[in-house]
Amino acid sequence: MAQEVKEGGNKEAFKVEYEAVRYDNLPLVIKIIFVLLTVVGIGLAVAFMFSISIEGKTLSNTGYYYLLFALFGSAIFLILPLRKKGKTKLPWYDILIAVIAFAIPMYFFTNSFKIQQVGWIPAPSNFIFTLALVHCFIMLEAARRMGGIIFFSLCIVLWMYPLYASHMPGIFYGITRAITVAGPGGAMIKIFDC
């Protein structure tokens, strides 16, 4: 939809373009889900910032971040397309990724007390390690959709940094840690070590 706007006696015409975004073409149910995710996320942030308690309990930092990942991470896939060409339709795989991007952090949220008190480094099981890895890949895809390929590339470099930190000079030097997973009988198996 384009329209021309003329200012006073000026003969110059300005063309204003309206770009159709995916939100305009979403089904009503998905629009409602998107708005609910956003409103609940903002409400959650306000409740956390002001330490508002519910039934005498406040959110832990760990639980709060997992809830934010669940709410806003899943909303990204409802509103931002995989490619610039797909701006108008919501494909099935974006709905699937949105559901997974909601479910994994919610699982971690339900275990946030255990994660905070006991720690899950290394991951206590291959299932949890796989969930965390899938969530990392989903968040990397969300970063690509939001920030473009340059931001995505920077995220990859920083995500991989612990693997090559011990080989860096000066202030970039860091201690490289092995990536381990739980093997048969609970034994820890190194899958990467520098």
pTM of the model: 0.76
Distance CA 81, CA 162 (A): 31
What pLDDT, in 10s, does the model give residues 85-144? 766 788 899 999 999 999 999 999 999 988 888 887 777 888 998 999 999 999 999 999
User: Would you state the pLDDT for residue 2?
Assistant: 45
Structure tokens, 54? 């519910």
Q: Distances from the Cα of 158 to the Cαs of 85, 138, 150, 190, 191, in angstroms?
A: 29, 16, 13, 21, 20
CA angle 138, 141, 144 (to 5 degrees): 155
The 10s digit of each residue's pLDDT in 1-18 is 444 445 555 555 556 555
Sequence ranges of the domains in the chain: 25-112, 120-194
